[in-house]
């Protein structure tokens, strides 16, 4: 039997060359394997001697130290990948992970604001403050276009096509997409530009649309802070973040009858499955609509 260090070296080569995993994913697999190796060492066993019962104990310990179910599932997936490799390379004859179950992960539906709550939050902004109109324009764009917070803070003035009604957004992996922007959001941006022109803009930030009072791009933390303050001012007790606006944008589109593929394009999701979480929300909405409005469900019918 080859030494453990030799097996692990071959496994890393297998992941990199045959599975073509990214460096980030390779790091994650390595950390998961380290947890298994530490466990095996504590049990005074070689990793090739670990049994199904041992692995049950391993998973129980992950749970006991408070590792979240989703993270547990990822670690187990990494362990299964390792033992699958050991089988392929004939280091083992039996896979001890074959019966190992993943922890149950419920679909966590994202927090969503109603249209009234979105309006209340925007209306709560004090426009007499120096940053008031900026905040209103910023949150209107966040909701109107369903942007990620990083896309909002890096949005450039030159990427707003006022006449055409589009903005050009640079998303994950520097992928660009065109997103329609509402007339309301365009109007709020135009109003904000009067204030923006009075700011002494720092070098390198001349084309950034939403600026801090210091003349630099806003930080993500600042956007979070603005939203928290306004949610409180509007009397909204939900846990509201920039991502809540993105979820609300997608949900309201779906409720309005928009095509899931179109929403995927707007959000900049690589896979339609990422967008499909919104169908869970939409099904609940449809169920509620049917129960409330279907004549067979009305009281006294």
Instruction: Answer yes or no: do 262 and 127 share one domain.
Output: yes
- The pair of three-digit structure tokens given for residue 8, joined into one six-digit string: 């692990």
User: For position 48, which CATH number holds?
Assistant: 1.10.150
Instruction: Answer yes or no: do 138 and 83 share one domain.
Output: no
237 noted as active-site residue: no
Residue 110: its pLDDT value, please?
Answer: 65
Instruction: Answer yes or no: do 151 and 227 share one domain.
Output: yes
- Helices 242-255 and 260-267 pack at an angle, to 10 degrees, of 160
148 noted as active-site residue: yes
Residue 142: its pLDDT value, please?
Answer: 93
Q: Which of 172, 213, 220, 288 is catalytic?
A: 172
Q: Which of 10, 202, 269, 280 is catalytic?
A: 269
Number of domain units in the chain: 2
Residue 93 lies in a domain: no
Q: CA 282, CA 288: separation in Å to the nearest integer?
A: 10
Q: Which of 148, 196, 247, 252 is catalytic?
A: 148
Instruction: Answer yes or no: do 23 and 137 share one domain.
Output: no
Residue 163 lies in a domain: yes
Instruction: Answer yes or no: do 198 and 73 share one domain.
Output: no
269 noted as active-site residue: yes
Among the three residues 73, 88, 103, which one is the final residue of a domain in this structure?
88
**Residue range of the domain that includes 219:** 115-292
Residue 108 lies in a domain: no
Q: Which of 80, 134, 246, 252 is catalytic?
A: 246
Q: CA 274, CA 148: separation in Å to the nearest integer?
A: 14
Instruction: Answer yes or no: do 47 and 125 share one domain.
Output: no
Residue 301: its pLDDT value, please?
Answer: 42
Residue 299 lies in a domain: no
Residue 278: its pLDDT value, please?
Answer: 67
Instruction: Answer yes or no: do 173 and 233 share one domain.
Output: yes
Residue 198 lies in a domain: yes
31 noted as active-site residue: no
Instruction: Answer yes or no: do 263 and 124 share one domain.
Output: yes
Among the three residues 28, 53, 88, which one is the final residue of a domain in this structure?
88
Instruction: Answer yes or no: do 157 and 269 share one domain.
Output: yes
Among the three residues 51, 69, 88, which one is the final residue of a domain in this structure?
88
Residue 236 lies in a domain: yes
Q: Which of 16, 35, 243, 280 is catalytic?
A: 243
Instruction: Answer yes or no: do 157 and 242 share one domain.
Output: yes
The string of DSSP codes covering 90-116 is TS-SS-TTTTPPPPP----PPP---HH
Instruction: Answer yes or no: do 129 and 259 share one domain.
Output: yes
pLDDT tens series, the chain, 301 aa: 568 888 888 988 888 887 777 788 888 888 888 889 988 988 899 989 999 999 988 888 887 777 778 888 888 988 999 999 999 888 888 889 988 888 776 656 667 899 999 999 999 999 999 999 999 999 999 998 999 999 999 999 999 999 989 999 988 777 888 888 999 999 999 999 999 999 999 999 999 999 999 999 999 899 999 999 999 999 999 889 898 898 888 888 877 777 777 788 888 877 766 666 666 656 666 566 556 665 555 544 4
Residue 298 lies in a domain: no
Residue 297 lies in a domain: no
Is residue 239 within 8 Å of residue 163, measured between CB atoms? no
63 noted as active-site residue: no
Is this model's pTM higher than 0.85 or not?
Answer: no
156 noted as active-site residue: no
User: For position 267, which CATH number holds?
Assistant: 1.10.443.10
Phi-psi region of 212 (alpha: psi -120 to 50; beta: other; left: phi over 0): beta
Instruction: Answer yes or no: do 238 and 277 share one domain.
Output: yes
């Amino acid at each position: 039997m080859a030494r453990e260090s030799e097996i692990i070296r071959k496994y890393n080569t297998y992941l990199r060359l045959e599975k073509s995993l990214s460096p980030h994913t390779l790091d994650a697999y390595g950390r998961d394997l380290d947890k298994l190796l530490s466990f095996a060492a504590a049990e005074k066993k070689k990793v090739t001697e670990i049994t199904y019962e041992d692995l049950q104990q391993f998973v129980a310990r992950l749970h006991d130290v408070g590792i979240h179910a989703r993270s547990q599932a990822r670690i187990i997936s990494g362990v299964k990948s390792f033992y699958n490799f050991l089988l392929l390379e004939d280091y083992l004859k039996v896979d001890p992970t074959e019966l190992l179950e993943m922890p149950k992960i419920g679909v966590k539906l994202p927090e969503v604001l109603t249209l009234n709550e979105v309006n209340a939050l925007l209306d709560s902004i004090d426009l007499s403050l120096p940053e008031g109109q900026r905040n209103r324009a910023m949150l209107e764009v966040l909701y109107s276009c369903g942007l990620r917070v990083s896309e909002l803070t890096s949005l450039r003035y030159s990427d707003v096509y006022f006449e055409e009604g589009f903005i050009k957004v640079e998303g994950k992996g520097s992928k660009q997409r065109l997103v329609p922007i509402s007339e309301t959001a365009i109007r709020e941006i135009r109003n904000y530009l009067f204030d923006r022109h009075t700011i002494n803009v720092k070098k390198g930030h001349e084309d950034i649309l939403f600026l801090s009072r210091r003349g630099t791009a806003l930080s993500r933390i600042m956007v979070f802070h603005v939203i928290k303050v306004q949610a409180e001012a509007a009397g909204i007790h939900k846990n509201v973040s920039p991502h809540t606006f993105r979820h609300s944008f997608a949900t309201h589109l779906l409720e309005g009858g928009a095509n899931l593929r179109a929403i995927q394009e707007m959000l900049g999701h690589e896979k339609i499955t990422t967008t499909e979480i919104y169908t869970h929300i939409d099904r609940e909405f449809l169920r509620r609509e049917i129960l409330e409005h279907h004549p067979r469900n009305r009281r006294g019918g």
